[in-house]
């Protein structure tokens, strides 16, 4: 029986990628990064929805978690930013050490890293700044819809800002890892615990509203520091077992006896949220995930020796920032046109029924296909802008700033 042409092409592509992969490539780290990356669009597509305003046909953000609280454990699986920061810290530690071994400067290393993160963000925000007037005046899209879309587009980009800051702290994280080993992350955990006690404990009413912001840096730096210690060879399997067990026990205790919300993502109308800013529950989950990732590293590396599994991991890693920056645009590309036809289960309509959940699962391959199509063009923003002069860069920056002002509700 003749093999279909598509399968033959995929097989050849996988073989080519396998042949071009360096022997020393750490496949497990790339696999963990790909897993964490895919969790971002999966979580946003599955746990985010839209309601349709009967007055003007505008769409507004909604979440099935408001109706189905029992879906909260799904967010425990899909909230994998701890893994992403762990792997990021590991990779940064190795990259920084190699750079220093070649007599490179810390400034040059940071500049290269930050540029790789900044270009795609500037690209997506500049494109959306140009799209807003076109959608409003060319297709009469309601302003409320544009604000909803802008909020969703900018929503995952906060992560990039935080990641830039923790990346800039890599030299200090390396020093801490060399001095304290696996315990270098402990003060970060302790500081978040103290802030949580102050804002949720017996004296919470007397605390200022901005207090939670103090957990943003240590909360996300925690897993990154674990990754740096891992990259420096100071985090062993014994430590990993401690992270897995200790994180799981702390996670259960915070849920069962300390009143922490079960969902790892924000729920509209809820009094408290775990992720914005990160609570101690986020760090407990990150510790559990980090311990499991370190322990499973060998098995994952062996599994990814198979070309058919390794090829998609490579493709996902090469498109990391494109996936992060454009996955919400892919969902909006389906939802905004559909809103003109009224409610459509699983896409535009209140996410308050089991039918909506099943329909949303059916829509997710459509979002994925749209992301692939968008990514064919958007990936150019990840490459160095060698042909982009100062004037075009300044224009892109101005457009991005304008979009940010609109998205944040400042205009």
> With contact defined as beta carbons under 8 Å apart, do 66 and 357 qualify?
no
Q: Which residue has the tokens 């957990």?
A: 215
pLDDT for residue 388 is more than 90: no
- Across residues 64-71, what is the average pLDDT? 87
Q: How far apart are CA 204 and CA 300, in angstroms?
A: 44
pLDDT for residue 292 is more than 90: yes
**Which pLDDT belongs to residue 392?**
73
Minimum mean pLDDT among 159-163, 246-250, 334-338, 406-410: which range? 406-410
**Which pLDDT belongs to residue 157?**
86
Q: How far apart are CA 33 and CA 27, in angstroms?
A: 10
* Chain mean position to CA 361: 20
DSSP string spanning 319-373?
THHHHHHHHHHHHHHHHHHHHTT--BTTTBS---SHHHHHHHHHHHHHHHHHHHH
Q: How far apart are CA 163 and CA 40, in angstroms?
A: 15
Banded pLDDT at 381 (limits 50, 70, 90): confident
Banded pLDDT at 399 (limits 50, 70, 90): confident
Q: How far apart are CA 233 and CA 94, in angstroms?
A: 10
**Which pLDDT belongs to residue 3?**
58
pLDDT for residue 168 is more than 80: yes
Q: How far apart are CA 13 and CA 256, in angstroms?
A: 49
Banded pLDDT at 237 (limits 50, 70, 90): very high
**Which pLDDT belongs to residue 218?**
96
Domains of the chain, residue spans:
68-303+372-407
- Across residues 80-95, what is the average pLDDT? 95
* Chain mean position to CA 229: 22
pLDDT for residue 408 is more than 90: no
């Amino acid at each position: 029986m003749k093999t279909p042409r598509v399968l033959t092409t995929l097989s050849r592509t996988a073989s080519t990628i396998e042949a071009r992969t360096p022997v020393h490539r750490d496949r497990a780290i790339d696999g963990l990064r790909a897993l964490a990356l895919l969790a971002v669009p999966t979580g946003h597509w599955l746990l985010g929805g839209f309601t349709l305003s009967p007055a003007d046909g505008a769409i507004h953000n909604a979440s099935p978690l408001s109706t189905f609280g029992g879906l909260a454990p799904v967010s425990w699986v899909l909230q994998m930013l701890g893994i992403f920061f762990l792997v990021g810290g590991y990779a940064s530690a190795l990259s920084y050490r190699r750079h220093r071994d070649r007599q490179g400067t810390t400034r040059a290393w940071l500049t290269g890293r930050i540029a790789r993160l900044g270009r795609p963000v500037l690209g997506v925000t500049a494109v959306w700044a140009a799209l807003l007037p076109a959608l409003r005046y060319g297709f009469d899209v309601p302003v409320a819809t544009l604000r909803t879309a802008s909020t969703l587009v900018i929503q995952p980009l906060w992560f990039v800002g935080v990641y830039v800051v923790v990346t800039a702290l890599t030299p200090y994280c390396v020093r801490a890892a060399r001095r304290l080993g696996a315990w270098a992350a402990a003060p970060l955990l302790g500081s978040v615990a103290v802030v949580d006690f102050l804002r949720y404990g017996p004296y919470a009413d007397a605390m200022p509203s901005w207090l939670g912001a103090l957990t943003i840096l240590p909360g996300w730096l925690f897993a990154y520091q674990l990754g740096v210690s891992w990259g420096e060879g100071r985090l062993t399997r014994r430590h990993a077992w401690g992270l897995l067990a200790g994180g799981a026990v702390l996670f259960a205790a915070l849920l069962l006896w300390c009143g922490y919300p079960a969902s790892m993502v924000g729920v509209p109308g809820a009094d408290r949220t775990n992720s914005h800013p990160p609570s101690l529950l986020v760090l407990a989950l990150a510790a559990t995930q980090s311990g499991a990732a370190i322990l499973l590293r060998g098995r994952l590396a062996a599994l990814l020796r198979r070309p058919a599994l390794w090829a998609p991991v490579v493709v996902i890693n090469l498109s990391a920032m494109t996936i992060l920056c454009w996955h919400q645009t892919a969902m909006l590309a389906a939802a905004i046109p559909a809103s003109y036809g009224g409610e459509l289960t699983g896409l535009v309509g209140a996410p308050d029924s089991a039918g909506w959940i099943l329909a949303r699962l059916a829509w997710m391959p459509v979002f994925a296909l749209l992301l692939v199509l968008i990514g064919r063009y958007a990936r150019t923003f990840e490459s160095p802008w060698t042909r982009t002069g100062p004037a075009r860069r300044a224009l892109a920056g101005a457009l991005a700033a304008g979009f940010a002002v609109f998205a944040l509700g400042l205009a």
